[in-house]
């Protein structure tokens, strides 16, 4: 080949080389190749990982499901006390807790307001019954002597004030009769017992008498007593006190 042809061929080669270089530069770079294992792992993670719930929401939900609603402490304490603690009862040599009851003739009688130096409280089952009538009559007959000995007499049953007014009026009792309709004072003196009445068991007052001094301290008691002569025995105890 002649020198002239060689010189003409060289420019053509340069142009071809330049075109190839431009084409190679313009072609987009291929994305990095991802292995099949990585694709599977990424897909699995996207399907199996749930959306996270905030921690405080989970905690509140768990507490709401597992923690029962609490009963107020004072309610539990009151309930427990009502079931396990028996009511207080009187005892010889101890002060009798203050109490008040509706009285015959109207008004409220209160232990601490009684002005007697000594006090006789007699519990009886029912107004206008043979035993209770006889007991009341014997206390009434000795009432002046009780007064001279510095003692007052008070009768207590679960009858109403209206019943007491009728009974007291008929018998002309000079002392008050108190109505313990709900039995709270009877419970305080522990005089409610199971009794046999006409062949059936009933709960009622067991005839009982209590002698208190001027400080409302219990000095003597009579339980399961016999009516006839009882008032005189109480009077002798009052005179000796």
Residue-wise pLDDT for 221-235, tens only, equals: 999 999 999 999 999
pLDDT for 135 equals 98
pLDDT bin (cut points 50, 70, 90) of residue 201 is confident
Only one residue has tokens 């199971």, namely 194
CA 121/CA 178 separation, integer angstroms: 10
Q: Report the pLDDT averaged over residues 152-164.
A: 97
Averaged pLDDT, 100-117: 91
Domain ranges for the chain, please list them: 100-240
* Enzyme catalytic residues: 132
Q: What is the average pLDDT across 144-155?
A: 97
Mean pLDDT for all residues in the chain: 77
> pLDDT grade, residue 6 (50/70/90)?
very low
What was the pLDDT predicted at 21? 46
pLDDT at 40: 44
- Output the six-digit token pair for 230: 């009882």
- Cα–Cα distance between 140 and 151 in angstroms, integer? 13
pLDDT of res. 93 = 96
CATH H-level, domain 100-240: superfamily: Glutaredoxin (3.40.30.10)
Strands 208-212 and 118-123: antiparallel
232: left (phi over 0), alpha (psi -120 to 50) or beta: alpha
Query: Tell me, what's the pLDDT at 196?
Result: 74
CA 115, 232, 178 angle in degrees (round to 5)? 45
pTM of the model: 0.64
Residue 14 has pLDDT above 90, yes or no: no
């Amino acid at each position: 080949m002649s020198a002239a042809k060689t010189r003409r061929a060289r420019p053509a080669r340069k142009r071809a080389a330049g075109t190839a270089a431009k084409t190679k530069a313009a072609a987009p770079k291929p994305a990095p190749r991802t292995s099949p294992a990585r694709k599977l792992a990424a897909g699995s993670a996207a399907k199996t990982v749930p959306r996270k719930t905030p921690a405080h929401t989970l905690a509140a939900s768990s507490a709401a499901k597992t923690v029962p609603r609490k009963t107020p402490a004072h309610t539990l304490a009151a309930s427990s006390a009502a079931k396990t603690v028996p009511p207080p009862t009187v005892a010889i040599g101890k002060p009798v807790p203050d109490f008040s009851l509706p009285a015959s003739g109207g008004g409220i009688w209160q232990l601490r307001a009684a002005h007697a130096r000594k006090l006789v409280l007699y519990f009886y089952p029912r107004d206008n019954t043979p035993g209770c009538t006889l007991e009341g009559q014997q206390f009434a007959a000795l009432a002046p002597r009780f007064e001279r000995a510095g003692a007052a007499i008070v009768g207590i049953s679960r009858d109403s004030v209206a019943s007491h007014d009728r009974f007291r009026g008929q018998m002309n009792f000079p002392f008050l009769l108190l109505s313990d309709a709900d039995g709270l004072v009877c419970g305080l003196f522990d005089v409610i017992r199971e009794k046999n009445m006409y062949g059936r068991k009933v709960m009622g007052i067991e005839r009982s008498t209590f002698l208190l001094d001027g400080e409302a301290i219990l000095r003597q008691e009579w339980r399961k007593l016999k009516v006839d002569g009882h008032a005189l025995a109480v009077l002798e105890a009052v005179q000796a006190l």
